Amino acid sequence: MASADKLINTYVPEKDVFALHFLQSLSNLRTQNPLNSPDKSIDRVRKIKKAAYVSMARAAGGTSRLWSRALLRRAAKDDNKSVRFSRRKRKVTWKISSKRKRSNQRAPVVEEAAERLRNLVPGGGGMETSKLMEETAHYIKCLSMQVKVMQCLVDGLSPK
């Protein structure tokens, strides 16, 4: 499998990069919301979750990965901000139906699973199945890293 990794780059930086980004975003959260946090807990949760995803996307590869790009865009759209891409923008909302028309011989088993994956992985709607799998692999790695970081944080912060 090592050879496959060389062809398909699924490099993910170390845990600390993720942790750094996450903590940064959390601190920003704290500065944004004044201290007594008048908003309800659900909003807090949502904000923290969003911060987690955004920081993960930034840590994992910024705009060089399709899923991270889509994630950041989604987040920026919610906040009515604009995302600046370092490279040329890729059309993430590309319709894949045109590709499908060309041949009806795509394995239906794979395709239906790919549909479900597309709903899960950010930015999956515009990807071809093989590209989707690549992005999924990277996404899984980053997600697991983020989960580890958050787990550590929670363990550290919870009262002994």
Partner 1 sequence: MENELFMNAGVSHPPVMTAPSSSSAMLKWVSMETQPVDPSLSRNLFWEKSTEQSIFDSALSSLVSSPTPSNSNFSVGGVGGENVIMRELIGKLGNIGDIYGITASNGNSCYATPMSSPPPGSMMETKTTTPMAELSGDPGFAERAARFSCFGSRSFNSRTNSPFPINNEPPITTNEKMPRVSSSPVFKPLASHVPAGESSGEFSRKRRTKSKQNSPSAVSSSKEIEEKEDSDPKRCKKSEENGDKTKSIDPYKDYIHVRARRGQATDSHSLAERVRREKISERMKLLQDLVPGCNKVTGKALMLDEIINYVQSLQRQVEFLSMKLSSVNTRLDFNMDALLSKDIFPSSNNLMHHQQVLRLDSSAETLLGDHHNKNLQLNPDITSNNIINPLETSDTSRSFIHLPTLAHFSDSISQYSTFSEDDLHSIIHMGFAQNRLQELNQGSSNQVPSHMKAEL
Give me the residues that bind partner 1 (CB under 8 A), please: 1, 4-5, 7-8, 10, 13-17, 19-21, 23-24, 26-27, 30-31, 35, 37, 41, 44-45, 48-49, 52-53, 58, 62, 102-103, 105-107, 109-110, 113-114, 116-117, 120-121, 129-130, 133-134, 136-137, 139-141, 143-144, 146-147, 149-159
Q: Closer to partner 1 at the Cβ: 19 or 66?
A: 19
Cβ–Cβ under 8 Å, residues 48 and 26: yes
Alpha carbon 88 to chain centroid, angstroms: 19
Whole-angstrom distance, CA of residue 115 vs CA of residue 134: 15
- How far from each other are the two terminal CA atoms of the chain, in whole angstroms? 42
The torsion angle over the Cα atoms of residues 112, 116, 119 and 121, rounded to 10 degrees, is -110
Smallest gap from Cβ 40 to partner 1, in A, equals: 10
Whole-angstrom distance, CA of residue 29 vs CA of residue 6: 38
Smallest gap from Cβ 117 to partner 1, in A, equals: 6
Q: Closer to partner 1 at the Cβ: 10 or 92?
A: 10
Q: Closer to partner 1 at the Cβ: 73 or 138?
A: 138
Q: Closer to partner 1 at the Cβ: 92 or 150?
A: 150
Cβ–Cβ under 8 Å, residues 129 and 100: no
Q: Which residues contact 98 (CB under 8 A, 6 or more apart)?
A: none
Smallest gap from Cβ 126 to partner 1, in A, equals: 17
Smallest gap from Cβ 16 to partner 1, in A, equals: 4
